Amino acid sequence: MINKAIANILPHLPKRLVRIFANKYFSGENLSDALRESKKLNEEGCSVTLDILGEYVSKMEEAEQYKIQYLDVIEQFSAANITGNFSLKPSMFGILLNKEACYENYREIVKAAAKHNNFIRIDMEDSSCTDDEINLYLRLKKEFPGRVGLVLQAYMHRTLDDIKKMMEVHTEASPLNFRLCKGIYVEDKSIAYKGYQEVRDHFLEDLEYMLLNGIYVGIATHDAYLVEKSMELIEKHKISKDKFEFQMLYGVNPGMRRSIAGKGYSMKIYVPFGKQWFNYSTRRLKENPNMVWHIVKAIFIRG
C-alpha cells in the first residue's frame, strides 16, 4: 500500500529528487553515455539494445526529430563496434497520429540498421496500440526479413492467439522473432490477466509454444522463478542456444544478469538514454519492491 501511495505521488515530486533514485535505470542523457555503458556491458559478455527515451508524441514533427536521432544512433553505434541492436517505441514515431507516416519512419530506420547488418525491435505499448504494432511488425518483416522483431506481453489474454495467427508468416528462412515480457501498462481485467502467478503461467505457456515452434525469443524478465522455469523448458525441449536469449533492463539486478550469462546463456541488456527519462524511470521505480527504502534514503539520508 505504501508503495502504491508513493507511486501515485512520484509525478508530483520535484524532478531533481526523482532523478536521484531514477539515475540507475537509464544510462545518461546523451548518446555518449549510452555508448560508454554499452561498451562496459559488452566487456562483461552482454549484448545491448539501445533505446532513446520518449513516447506518445503529439506532433509528427517530433517523430521526424526522433527518426533523425535514431539514424545518427545507428551510425555512431556501428562505428563504435558495439554488439547489440535497437529498440523503438511506435508511439514515438506517431503510430497513434498517422500510421502510414509511422511506418515510413520505421522503414527508414530498419533500412539503415539493415545496411549495418543489424536489427530493430518494436517495443509493445498499451492495448490501444497492440493491433497497429502487430501490423507494423508484419509489414516490416515482409520487406526486411530477419531485420525486425516485436515484443509480446504475457499479461494480455490475446497473446497466444496472436502468436498462433502470426505462424502463417513464420518460415525457416524468416522466423518470427519476439521478445516476451510480462507487460508493464495498466490494462483492464477484461483483456489482461491480473494475478501474479497467472501472468507467470501464461508467460511460460507462450514461451513453450515459441520454443517448440522455432520462433526466436528474447526471454525478458528479472523474475527468478521465470528464469529458472525458462531454463527448465529449454533443457527439456533441447532448444539450441541460437534460438533464444535472456534480456534484462539496465540497472535492474546486475547480479542476476551475471549469473545467467555465467551459465553460458546469451544476455541482452536494454539500455535507455535521453532527456525524456522521467516517465520511463518512474515506471521502473514502481516495479522496484525496495522503492520505499530508496525514497526514504534519498530524502533523509542523502539530504
Ligand X SMILES: Cc1cc2nc3c(=O)[nH]c(=O)nc-3n(C[C@H](O)[C@H](O)[C@H](O)COP(=O)(O)OP(=O)(O)OC[C@H]3O[C@@H](n4cnc5c(N)ncnc54)[C@H](O)[C@@H]3O)c2cc1C
By CB under 6 A, which span of 39-47, 59-67, 221-229, 272-280 interacts with ligand X?
221-229
Within the chain, residue ranges assigned H as helices are 2-9, 15-22, 31-43, 60-79, 99-115, 130-143, 159-166, 196-212, 224-236, 254-262, 277-287, 291-296
The single residue among 3, 118, 253, 266 that binds ligand X, judged by CB under 6 A, is 253
CB 257 within 8 A of CB 269: yes
**Size of interface with ligand X, in residues (CB under 6 A):** 24
| Least distance between ligand X and beta carbon 109 (Å) | 16
| Least distance between ligand X and beta carbon 43 (Å) | 20
| Least distance between ligand X and beta carbon 24 (Å) | 8
CB 268 within 8 A of CB 84: yes
Helix, coil or strand: residue 293: helix
| Least distance between ligand X and beta carbon 294 (Å) | 9
Alpha carbon dihedral 85, 177, 148, 125, in 10-degree steps, equals -90
Nearer to ligand X, 113 or 151 (CB): 151
Q: Which residues, numbered 156-215, are part of the site for ligand X (CB under 6 A)?
A: 179, 181-185
Nearer to ligand X, 44 or 75 (CB): 44
Nearer to ligand X, 220 or 260 (CB): 220
Cα 147 to chain center, whole Å? 16
Closest CA to 185 of 76, 94, 55: 55
Q: Which residues, numbered 66-125, are part of the site for ligand X (CB under 6 A)?
A: 123-124
Closest CA to 180 of 240, 106, 257, 124: 124
Per CB under 6 A, 287 contacts ligand X:
yes
Nearer to ligand X, 55 or 64 (CB): 55
**Residues forming the site for ligand X (CB under 6 A):** 123-124, 151, 153, 179, 181-185, 220-223, 247-249, 252-253, 270, 284, 287-289
